[in-house]
């Protein structure tokens, strides 16, 4: 790549949980599918269609391989929001004869929580598990929540705000022993945390290309087909694409880009995660040196690129307006609209942060294109801001702000 460790690109992009820059190699792979190979994968009569179909099937095999799934277990969608909707609504509809109980957790993405709310209005009952101060569910509590009427458990693989990674294997085992379907939203985890759908007994899994240096507007849903596979009711009527489960002309350039992004993630693998985690740890140490810093999330089971901190005496909105040269977030992009309407992050609330603490919280998302110099600049700039604010307030950070 052309980035060097001492390059700084302003504004410094540290919002990689919201979305990522498309890797130039991904763009390269996509271009022919706009310009020359623009066929419709459903056109069976000519070469344009055949090429498109071949590209989609190669991508399907590649993406399936990256998670130890089979090709026919991958359904392409427009992204993880659609995949979550399709999985939850599709499974609920297909299994409503068996039961109407669903279990999820409080820190899920809106596309899971709101889908569950919609299912409630259709007669399903939903148990929403609480999490502890690190964003972890309690496996015993999950076990107690399961009943004869439970058809589906949906627990995210990694949280998009605080980075907490779930014990997928343990949840998978618990569900599989009881014949309950286990769905996981792996939008943040896919490509950053090792996922083996067979070993972890995952039945359904949502993921998205744009969280992994791929294009926006394309994603997928893994659905287990072996033994008695997961049944699902399609949520879109039409031409019967994607095994009849998701109608609509395939987004071939997007799918090709998605596949290339998956290949790169596998190729770059552990060394990339280690490098990113090292930069994250450096930034964390730099900020912690200012004192009055609380690290949110599970420090032992956390996404390598996530740093979510509550800074005593700081208003995070002021950081965003004062420090325009750094692109960060106060929470998740999907709910930041709510900031104006009195709501604060449901994730921060779930781990026990008060509104006041939530308003002092920043989320940093490190990425493939982040450089050491950017981390160093950010650490220095934010620390300087913290000291300035605290001296303006003419007080030292008090532990009260953190309790």
Ligand X SMILES: *Cc1c(COP(=O)(O)O)cnc(C)c1O
- 22 or 287: CB nearest ligand X: 22
Contact 77, 86 (CB under 8 A): yes
Residues 6+ apart with CB under 8 A from 269: none
Start-to-end C-alpha separation, the chain? 44
Tell me whether residue 58 is exposed, middle or buried, using C-beta atoms within 10 angstroms of its C-beta: 0 to 12, 13 to 18, 19 or more: middle
Contact 6, 195 (CB under 8 A): no
Residues 6+ apart with CB under 8 A from 360: 310, 311, 312, 313, 314, 315, 316, 401
- 211 or 241: CB nearest ligand X: 211
- 219 or 253: CB nearest ligand X: 219
Output the smallest distance, CB 399 to ligand X, in A: 32
Output the smallest distance, CB 363 to ligand X, in A: 12
- 174 or 212: CB nearest ligand X: 212
Q: Which residues pair with 20 in a beta bridge?
A: none
Output the smallest distance, CB 79 to ligand X, in A: 3
**Sole residue written with tokens 């995660």:** 273
- Determine the Cα–Cα distance for residues 32 and 30; give it in Å rounded to an integer: 6
- 288 or 327: CB nearest ligand X: 327
- Determine the Cα–Cα distance for residues 258 and 269; give it in Å rounded to an integer: 16
Question: Interface with ligand X by CB under 6 A: which residues?
Answer: 79-81, 109, 111, 156, 160, 185, 187-188, 208, 210-211, 219
Residues 6+ apart with CB under 8 A from 350: 106, 107, 130, 131, 135
334 is catalytic: yes
CA 74-79-82 angle, to 5 degrees, is 90
CB-based closest residue to ligand X: 79
Output the smallest distance, CB 346 to ligand X, in A: 13
Output the smallest distance, CB 187 to ligand X, in A: 3
> Taking the CB of residue 193, how many other CB atoms lie within 10 A of it?
18
Q: Which two tokens stand for residue 393?
A: 């307030």
**Sole residue written with tokens 């994250």:** 280
The phi-psi region of residue 243 (left if phi > 0; otherwise alpha if psi is between -120 and 50; otherwise beta) is: left
- 188 or 306: CB nearest ligand X: 188
- 87 or 312: CB nearest ligand X: 87
Among the listed residues 105, 116, 175, 334, the single catalytic one is 334
Q: Which two tokens stand for residue 197?
A: 């759908």
Contact 192, 162 (CB under 8 A): no
Task: Give the residue numbers marked as catalytic.
Answer: 334
């Amino acid at each position: 790549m052309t980035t060097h460790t001492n390059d700084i690109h302003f504004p410094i992009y540290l919002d990689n949980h919201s979305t990522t820059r498309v890797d130039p190699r991904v763009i390269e792979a996509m271009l022919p599918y706009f310009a020359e190979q623009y066929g419709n994968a459903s056109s069976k009569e000519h070469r344009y269609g055949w090429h498109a179909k071949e590209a989609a099937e190669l991508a399907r095999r590649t993406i399936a391989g990256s998670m130890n799934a089979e090709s026919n277990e991958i359904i392409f969608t427009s992204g993880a929001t659609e995949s979550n909707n399709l999985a939850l609504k599709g499974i609920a509809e297909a299994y409503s004869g068996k039961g109407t109980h669903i279990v999820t957790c409080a820190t899920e993405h809106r596309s899971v929580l709101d889908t569950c709310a919609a299912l409630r209005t259709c007669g399903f009952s939903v148990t929403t598990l609480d999490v502890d101060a690190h964003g972890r569910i309690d496996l015993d509590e999950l076990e107690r929540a399961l009943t004869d009427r439970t058809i589906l458990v949906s627990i995210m693989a990694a949280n998009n705000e605080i980075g907490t990674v779930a014990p997928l294997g343990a949840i998978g085992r618990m569900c599989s022993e009881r014949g309950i379907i286990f769905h996981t939203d792996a939008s943040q985890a896919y490509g950053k945390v090792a996922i083996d759908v067979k070993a972890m007994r995952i039945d359904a899994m949502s993921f998205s290309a744009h969280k992994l240096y791929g294009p926006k507007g394309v994603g997928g849903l893994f659905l287990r087909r072996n033994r008695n596979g997961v049944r699902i009711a399609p949520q879109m009527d039409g031409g019967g694409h994607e095994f009849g489960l998701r109608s609509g002309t395939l987004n071939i350039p997007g799918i090709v880009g998605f596949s290339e992004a998956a290949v790169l993630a596998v190729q770059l693998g552990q060394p990339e995660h280690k490098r990113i985690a090292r930069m994250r740890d450096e930034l964390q140490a730099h900020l912690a040196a200012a004192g009055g810093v609380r690290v949110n999330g599970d420090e032992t089971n956390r996404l390598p690129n996530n740093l979510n901190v509550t800074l005593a005496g700081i208003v995070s909105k002021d950081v965003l307006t004062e420090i325009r040269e750094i692109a960060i977030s106060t929470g998740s992009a999907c709910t930041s609209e709510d900031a104006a309407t009195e709501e604060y992050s449901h994730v921060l609330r779930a781990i026990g942060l008060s509104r006041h603490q939530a308003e002092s919280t920043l989320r940093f998302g490190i990425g493939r294109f982040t450089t050491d110099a950017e981390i160093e600049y950010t650490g220095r700039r934010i620390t300087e801001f913290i000291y300035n604010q605290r001296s303006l307030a003419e007080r030292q950070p008090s532990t009260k702000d953190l309790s």
